[in-house]
């Protein structure tokens, strides 16, 4: 008797109990066939307006400029090589190996 619950109202009656064999809670609900008058006092009209506007907005972005810089070490080497070539040609001209104009 301690594991059963019975309830009854004007609209429905229900019974729930504990099933000790499977250790589950079981029950049922029966609605009574009663016509209940329902008075609608007001009626609202719900209107949903959903508008999505898409705009293309230009996004600023960084442009990467590659600046080609020749390191100063290479400029110094180039100057030294040109000076050595001038010196070699000058020595060859002095010895008479080279005649002006070539």
Does residue 28 contact residue 15 with C-beta atoms inside 8 Å?
yes
Calculate the dihedral angle through the C-alpha atoms of 78, 84, 86, 88, rounding to the nearest 10 degrees. Answer: -150
Confidence of residue 8 (pLDDT cuts 50, 70, 90): very high
Residue bearing the bigger pLDDT, 51 or 80: 80
* CA nearest neighbour of 4 among 16, 13, 19: 16
Over 80: is that where the pLDDT of 2 sits?
Answer: no
Q: The whole model's pTM is what?
A: 0.34
Report the mean per-residue pLDDT for the chain. Answer: 86
Please tell me the predicted confidence (pLDDT) of residue 43. Answer: 76
Structure tokens at 91: 């020595």
């Amino acid at each position: 008797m301690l594991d059963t619950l019975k309830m009854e109202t004007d609209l429905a009656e229900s019974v729930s109990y504990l099933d000790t064999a499977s250790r589950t809670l079981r029950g049922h609900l029966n609605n009574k066939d009663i016509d209940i008058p329902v008075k609608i006092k007001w009626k609202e009209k719900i209107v949903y307006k959903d508008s999505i506007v898409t705009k293309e907005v230009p996004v600023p972005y960084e442009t990467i400029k590659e600046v080609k810089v020749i390191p100063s070490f290479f400029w110094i080497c180039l100057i030294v090589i040109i000076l050595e070539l001038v010196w070699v040609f000058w020595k060859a001209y002095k010895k008479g190996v080279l005649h002006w104009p070539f």
